Amino acid sequence: MKVLLIKTSSLGDVLHTLPALTDAFKARPDIRFDWVVEESLVDIPGWHPAVDRTIAFANRRWRREPWAMFGGGRRLWRELRGRHYDLVLDAQGLIKSAMLSVIARGSRYGLARDSAREPLATWVYHHRIRIDRHQHAIDRLRQLFAAALCYPPPESDVDYGISHDRLGPASYPVSGNYVLFLHGTTWPSKHWPEPYWRELIRLANGDDFMVLLPSGNAMEKARAERLATDNTLAQPLPALDLSELASLLVNAAGVVAVDTGLGHLAAAVAAPCVSIYGATDPRRTGTQARQQHHLVAEFPCAPCLRRRCSYTGEAAVTPACYATVPPAKVWGTLQASLKKH
């Protein structure tokens, strides 16, 4: 059975799809997927043995460089029209993903109107599937795949199905025991205070762990360099692709993350991880896997689900809710799961 899967972004959403692929592969061993995904995330589908081909969608680049859409759009059209699929599954539920499904050849499946993030997208599907929206994203996707591909809803534990040998060796040279601190995220309200990161680095160094600090843009790189100032046991990482970073996570003793896509990458490769939540709610989008620990701010307005903190009272740190998730609590939680090589 040949299926075209459309799940283009973001990093966390794409990783959330992997357990559903594992379910489908176990239930239907003959199934093979082609996967349409944002070009910056093309590494991820290749990590799963059920995926034959990755089709890059350059939507973000085309928004910055509209002229690139002419040649790139034609190539994408040819790839989507190049073969007939037994089933085309839009797992995104957006108008842009629905339009991609229209180009492809095959019976189109997607979420029902009251289940999709953009209800207008559902008009183009031949088959619409109703999934309760008040669930974790991983659970919703597992149920969507089961309904579309006609196997019983899974009750097994989450299995991302990543073949570690597909990641390749880590290209960044590091030896000894190390931890990764995933400090970068999108919303200002999800940023853990920098003084807390410095104290957490001190605690990790005190237990003989080197701290690696990845970054994905100039702002995150500057933060990593500030956190590592005058500390030879804290290293800002150079720019790494997702496979290289995943390889580092596989071999890490442990990970601390804010609510970020890279935290889901840590979960997907089974790295012990403590994730910190203030403005957001892990019941909907938190990491899922073994050895994943969620520390949730206990504050009157948390989770506020706001991009920026609007609290105006007295506060020891900013955002104020993170005062209830101090460094000692984070490190103490991670210590129980740390791996030593």
Residues 138 and 225 in one domain: no
- Provide the pLDDT for residue 167: 84
Last residue of one domain, picked from the residues 164, 191, 225 = 164
- Provide the pLDDT for residue 341: 57
> For the segment 217-226, what is each residue's pLDDT rounded down to a tens digit?
999 999 999 9
What does the pLDDT average to over 268-293? Answer: 95
Give me the residue label for tokens 């309760």.
132
Q: Work out the percent of the chain whose per-residue pLDDT is above 90.
A: 87
What is the SS3 assignment for 147? helix
Residues 122 and 188 in one domain: no
pTM of the model: 0.94
Residues 88 and 220 in one domain: no
Contact present, 184 and 216 (Cβ < 8 Å): yes
Residues 128 and 181 in one domain: no
What does the pLDDT average to over 14-20? Answer: 98
Cα 337 to its chain centre, rounded Å, is 21
The alpha carbon dihedral of 56, 221, 186, 197 has a sign of positive
Residues 215 and 263 in one domain: yes
> For the segment 300-325, what is each residue's pLDDT rounded down to a tens digit?
999 999 999 999 999 999 999 999 99
Residues 100 and 240 in one domain: no
What CATH number does residue 158 fall under? 3.40.50.2000
Residues contacting 339, CB < 8 A, separation 6+: 252, 253, 254, 272
Residues 159 and 193 in one domain: no
Residue 341 within any structural domain of the chain = no
| DSSP H stretches of helix in 208-271 | 218-227, 242-250, 261-268
Half-sphere exposure of 34 (CA within 13 A, CB side): 22
Report the mean per-residue pLDDT for the chain.
94
What is the SS3 assignment for 308? coil
Q: How many domains does the chain have?
A: 2
Bond preceding residue 29 cis, omega within 30 of 0: no
Band (pLDDT 50/70/90 cuts) for residue 340 is low
Give the domain range for residue 266.
169-335
Residues 42 and 57 in one domain: yes
Contact present, 260 and 182 (Cβ < 8 Å): yes
Last residue of one domain, picked from the residues 112, 133, 164 = 164
Residues contacting 155, CB < 8 A, separation 6+: none
Q: How many residues does the chain have?
A: 341
- Provide the pLDDT for residue 339: 77
> For the segment 104-115, what is each residue's pLDDT rounded down to a tens digit?
999 999 999 999
Residues 215 and 319 in one domain: yes
Residue 253 within any structural domain of the chain = yes
- H or E stretch covering 285: helix 282-285
Residues contacting 278, CB < 8 A, separation 6+: 189, 190, 192, 296, 297, 299, 302, 303, 319, 321, 322, 325
Residues 213 and 159 in one domain: no
What does the pLDDT average to over 282-301? Answer: 94
